[in-house]
Amino acid sequence: MNFAHLTATAPQPPGSPWLLVRVAEQRLYLLSAAGEVLQSWPVSTARAGVGEQEGSGCTPRGWHRIRACIGQGQDARAVFKGRRPTGEIWTPELNKAHPRRDWILGRILWLCGEEKGFNRGGSVDSQRRYIYLHGTPDDQPMGIPLSHGCIRLQADQMLEVFDQVAAGTLVLITTQEDQPVIAG
């Protein structure tokens, strides 16, 4: 599988690697600069669907860049709140004690929109919406949209992704099989 054709709308040619989230497929792909699939993982995007509006609970579409990589050296199940470790490690017992908590575990890749007026700026700003790729508890299903807007991965798989990208890595979130979202 090759996704090189998707880079035609990129803000700049992606370096290697870059990430592709295919919402319809509920899958994250790590791609080479040439668009070749290097690795992929199941994900869970927003229960509310896709959309860019602040407060929508939706996963934003389009081109993004990783603004910050957070959690280096933390346990895969370290609990984060406000992008800072709480000192807790997720366990089923901790989950029972806090059943309504939206767990952010292990690593965070904080996204910044690259398309002004679509996913950047004003009430559609992915960074100000705190949109991340992040780890989630092992008991959370993948392949089903259940998040509050972020892109969730199993905690151990999030570590794999984190170790292969850096701040500045391009990320495309798209809803269609082979078409990027084109703002405008």
pLDDT at residue 177, rounded to an integer: 55
> 59-76: b or e for each residue (b if 16 or more CB lie within 10 Å)?
bbbbbbbbbebbbeebeb
Give the residue among 126, 131, 86, 132 at the shortest CA–CA distance from 108: 132
Separation between Cα atoms, residue 23 and residue 61, nearest integer Å:
9
33 and 16 Cβ atoms separated by less than 8 Å: yes
Would you write out the chain's pLDDT as a tens digit for each of its 184 residues? Answer: 889 899 988 998 888 899 999 999 999 999 999 999 999 999 999 999 999 999 999 999 999 999 999 999 999 999 999 999 999 999 999 999 998 899 999 999 999 999 999 999 999 999 999 999 999 999 999 999 999 999 999 999 999 999 999 999 999 999 975 454 444 4
- Residue 139 tokens read as 């008991």
pLDDT at residue 15, rounded to an integer: 80
Peptide bond into 17 cis (omega under 30): yes
Tokens 């099989």: give the residue: 177
Mapped onto helix, strand or coil, the DSSP state of residue 110 is: strand
28 and 161 Cβ atoms separated by less than 8 Å: yes
User: Dihedral (C-alpha) 73, 71, 153, 159: value to the nearest 10 degrees?
Assistant: -30
pLDDT at residue 97, rounded to an integer: 96
pLDDT at residue 1, rounded to an integer: 81
Please name each of the domains of the chain with its CATH number.
4-174 (2.40.440.10)
Give the residue among 171, 132, 178, 134 at the shortest CA–CA distance from 29: 171
pLDDT at residue 60, rounded to an integer: 98
Residues in the chain: 184
